[in-house]
Chain A
Amino acid sequence: MRARDPKKRSKDFKEVALGLTEKQAVKEAKRCLQCKKPKCVEGCPVEINIPAFIGKIRDTDSPGALNVIRQYNMLPAICGRVCPQENQCQGRCILGKKKTPIAIGALERFAADYDAKNSSPEKPVQIKPNGHKVAVVGSGPAGLTVAADLAKLGYEITIFEALHEAGGVLVYGIPEFRLPKKIIQREIEYVKSLGVKIQLNWVVGRTQTVEELFEEGYKAVFIGVGAGSPKYMSIPGENLNNVYFASEFLTRVNLMKAEQFPKYDTPVKKAKRVAVIGGGNVAMDSARTALRLGAEKVYIVYRRTEAEMPARLEELEHAKEEGIDFRYLSNPKEIIGDERGYVKAMRCDKMVLCEPDASGRRKPECSGEEFILEVDQVIMAIGQTSNPILVRSIKGLNLWGAGYIEVDENGASNIPGIFAGGDISTGAATVISAMGAGKRAARAIHDYIRSSYPA
């Protein structure tokens, strides 16, 4: 896919990937073999009929392509941008065995963007109400999907969002240069056009309990609150000034627009030399955000090698093009502060890879050597875990691991009427897998309500 010049783009927050032109999209669509048993569909967590939508693009029927996608996926402009396609649809494409697989993600994005450019804003859709209310907690990808699917079936849906803006991780986590806010806005407007209400500043578990939602007549509650609690390493110096958790750093910039301080009231510290710890998308996002805030040098410090990095291929490539310095096989052991309590350096162990661990990735172990990176800011992007606020407020709810909700394959918890999906039931994963969980839960909620409250 076309992308903006790394030298220019690393100085602003405008979108990096440019998308396909219509000509490019049609040309790419023509390469598709239209397999009888398409492998790409098997690789898609929401099972989009990929050959069908690519066929529409080939026939220059972009609106038709979008209609196909929307039967399976409520947020195509988002998924086209943030899905790890190389591990999903594109990774399975038969063409990829010998040469380049079809750029399915780019085509999905094209269909959605074409529509945004060429059609008028969403008009309210008339749906016959079925008289049942369902509450959705969290307005991230899982919640938006459940809400849209159930609204289409005639349910009266209210989404309860703790923050002052809807979108969950899409707005507080993913930067503007990767997923512009106006794209999220448009997708949320679409969900609202189906009659879905969004109640902001509503911390379910605190502002209102799940029990009270049932008392107010909600027949089912879907919990899609994500895995919103940052993990930390418990190394010395973690609480020094200028050590950020990625979630705070990104929330300040993405949600609170700190890069525009003092026009916006929330500040963020701009540093000269930054070390980001971690190898996932959040690490890439943090590093590239630090660069855009004016850092002269940004390191990504990762304890394994590039081959084990969980980040999307495109993000890794974009980060490299922009000049991020990757320090592989490096494990931070101490953040060193100056006399004022500010970061001045980070001490790391040099690692070697040994036998694979439980995750199937080769386990890093200390080589005995260490080195020091002179940095004035450290951002920890080593993952998120479950947030206790809501789940602990529900009596009798079965949990697993670090406090994730235990659900069956359809998202049903052990308590009748309570469903869950996305990171709060699986642990930190992807936008698309949260949407897949949302789709399955919507079907299960529909079945549950039909059998519990027959017309």
Chain B
Amino acid sequence: MYNILKKETIAPQVDAMIVEAPYIARHHQAGNFVVLRIDEKGERIPLTIADSDSEKGTITLLFQKIGKTTEELGTLKTGKAIRDIAGPLGHATPIMDYGYCVLVGGGIGSATLYPILKALKGKSNNVTVILGARNKELLIWGDRFKELADEVLLTTDDGSSGRKGLVTEALKEVMDKSKVEIVIAVGPIRMMQAVAELTKPYNVKTLVSLNPVMVEGTGMCGACRVNVGGKTRFACVEGPEFDAHEVDFKELANRLGFYREEEQASMEIFKKKKCKGRCKKSNKGT
């Protein structure tokens, strides 16, 4: 069992959780993820390690409540525990003295980018972070990025924070202004694909962190296979980061939608159960 030391909601539908996992904390490197299973009947899902503290022996997980498992995870409060967590998994982000780097994050992508920023700033890099979201509330960890990054640019669809528009527009301006050595983009598939298409003509090395369906997460089942440069690669052991210009995003999106019906069915049942619990309580109250 892995104890939840702290749980809080940091944005609409987004929770942060500090979990006791000393061995994972000790070996965590930027780019790594864990696979967790809430309980006996749970599924195994991958979550990025958003931060870690090797002295305290803790890891931080950020998750958006978009399916049954993440919703259920969100119901676990401080003091509860998660049955299984395995990690740290996946390749570490290649960190070196690049010079000028741009990190581009959409929504929950911040969770993956934060440790990368930390690691890049541990070397002599100049880093601009571009964070985008639908609105101000959905911008995640903007303050934390501002503490470490040389520059943080915010974009929102409705203009409620930063500039109104897409991250790609901000990125284009940055690239037109200065020579960028590397772009690392993490977020929804459409965003990562748009970044890849934008940076390609500029000939800027671009990495994306992919989030395919996974089952066991250690290269054993092949559920997470993605097409990179015409070759089948396993995101869990050969990724999750790949050269953005080589990724077949269409195939990835298609494979991600494969279990949509089941995900919806599972969610419906979960919501019904949750409501039932609430209804009972309110009955008692009256």
Interface residue? A267 (CB, 8 A):
yes
Which residues of the other chain, B, contact A203 by a CB distance below 8 angstroms?
Answer: 86-87, 89, 218
Q: Given A206, A228, A261, A266, which contacts B44 in the complex, CB threshold below 8 Å? A: A266
For the complex, would chain A's binding face be called helix, strand, loop or mixed by DSSP majority?
Answer: loop
CA–CA, A251 and B262, complex, Å: 17
Known: A208-B23, A267-B262. A387 touches B251 (CB 8 A): no
Residue from the list B68, B85, B215, B263 in contact with A251, Cβ < 8 A: B215
A294 located at the interface, meaning its Cβ lies under 8 Å from any Cβ of chain B in the complex: no
Interface hit among B8-16, B123-131, B155-163, B221-229? B221-229
Chain A residues lying within 8 Å of B254, measured Cβ to Cβ, are 241, 340-341
Q: Which of B87, B216, B232 neighbours the largest number of chain A CB atoms within 10 Å of its CB?
A: B216
Within 8 Å CB of A228, what residues of B? 218-220
Q: Is A163 an interface residue when CB atoms closer than 8 A count as contact? A: yes
Nearest B-chain residue to A201, judged by Cβ: B86
Name the distance in Å between B263's Cβ and chain A's nearest Cβ: 8
| A247 and B27 contact, CB distance less than 8 A | no
Do A247 and B86 touch (CB < 8 A)?
Answer: no
> B140-156 vs A: 1/0 string, CB under 8 Å?
00000000000000000
Q: Give per-residue flags for A240-281: 1 if the beta carbon is below 8 A from chain B beta carbons, else 0.
A: 011001011001100111000111111101000000000000
Determine if A230 is an interface residue (Cβ-Cβ < 8 Å).
yes
Q: Which residues of chain A are near B86, meaning CB under 8 Å? A: 162-164, 201-203, 207
Given contacts A201-B85, A266-B44, contact A163 B216 (CB under 8 A): yes
Q: In the complex the two chains form, is B258's CB within 8 Å of A241's CB?
A: yes
A207/B27 contact (C-beta < 8 A), A162-B86, A164-B83 known:
yes
Of the candidate stretches B35-43, B112-120, B184-192, the one touching chain A is B35-43
B231-247 contacts to A (CB < 8 Å): 232, 234, 237
Docked-complex contact B83 and A239, CB < 8 angstroms = no
Q: Report B230 CB to chain A, min CB distance, Å.
A: 10
Measured CB to CB, the nearest residue on chain A to B90 is A206
- The 8 A CB mask of B2-35 against A (1 = contact, 0 = none) is 0000000000000000000001100100000000
Contact of A232 among B88, B222, B226 (CB under 8 A): B222
The answer to whether A239 and B215 touch across the interface, beta carbons within 8 angstroms, is no
B269 interface hit (Cβ, 8 Å): yes
Q: Which A residues are CB-close (under 8 A) to B258?
A: 241-242, 269
Instruction: Please give the distance in Å from B178's CB to the nearest CB on chain A.
Output: 37
Please name all residues of chain A whose beta carbon is closer than 8 Å to the beta carbon of B259 when the two chains form the complex: 267, 269
With contact pairs A230-B221, A234-B232 given, residues A256 and B237 touching in the complex (Cβ less than 8 Å): no
B69 at the interface (CB under 8 A from A): yes
- Give Cα A241–Cα B256 distance, bound, in whole angstroms: 9
Query: By the criterion of a CB under 8 Å from any partner CB, how many residues of chain B are at the interface?
Result: 42
**What are the interface flags for A176-211 relative to B under an 8 Å C-beta threshold, 1 for contact and 0 otherwise?**
000000000000000000000000111100111000
A265 vs B83: C-alpha distance when bound (angstroms): 14
A201 touches B84 (CB 8 A): yes
Is A389 an interface residue when CB atoms closer than 8 A count as contact?
yes
Q: Is B75 an interface residue (CB 8 A)?
A: no
Minimum distance in angstroms from A176 CB to a CB of chain B:
16
Q: Does any Cβ of B come within 8 Å of A229's Cβ? A: yes
Closest A residue, CB atoms, query B39: A265
Residue from B84, B88, B227 in contact with A164 in the complex, judged by beta carbons closer than 8 Å: B84
A164-B83, A252-B215 as given contacts; A206 in contact with B269, CB under 8 Å: no
Choose from B69, B220, B227, B266 the contact partner of A387 (Cβ within 8 Å): B220
Given A207-B27, A251-B215, A256-B43, residue A229 in contact with residue B220 (CB < 8 A): yes
The listed residue with most A CB atoms (<10 A of its CB), out of B27, B88, B265, B269, is B27
Of A207, A245, A267, A269, which is within 8 A of B24 by CB?
A: A207
Known contacts: A201-B85, A230-B221, A261-B262. The answer to whether A256 contacts B44 by CB under 8 A is: yes
For residue B80, CB closer than 8 A to chain A, the reply is: no
B87 and A206 form a contact (CB under 8 A): yes
Q: A248–B262 contact, CB under 8 A?
A: no
Residue of B nearest to A248 (CB): B221
Question: What 1/0 flags go to A334-366 for Cβ under 8 Å of B?
Answer: 000000110000000000000000000000000
From the candidates A207, A241, A265, A266, name the one contacting B87 in the complex (CB within 8 A). Answer: A207
Residues of B whose CB lies within 8 Å of any CB of A are 23-24, 27, 37, 41-44, 68-69, 83-89, 215-216, 218-223, 225-227, 232, 234, 237, 251, 254-255, 257-259, 262-263, 265-266, 269
Residues of A bordering B, CB below 8 Å: 162-164, 172, 200-203, 206-208, 228-230, 232, 234, 238-239, 241-242, 245, 247-248, 251-252, 255-257, 261-267, 269, 340-341, 387-389
**Sample (12) of A-B pairs whose CB atoms are under 8 Å apart:** A162-B216, A163-B86, A172-B216, A241-B257, A245-B222, A247-B220, A251-B215, A256-B215, A265-B68, A267-B262, A387-B219, A388-B219
**Shortest 3 CB-CB contacts between residues of A and residues of B:** A267-B262, A248-B221, A265-B43
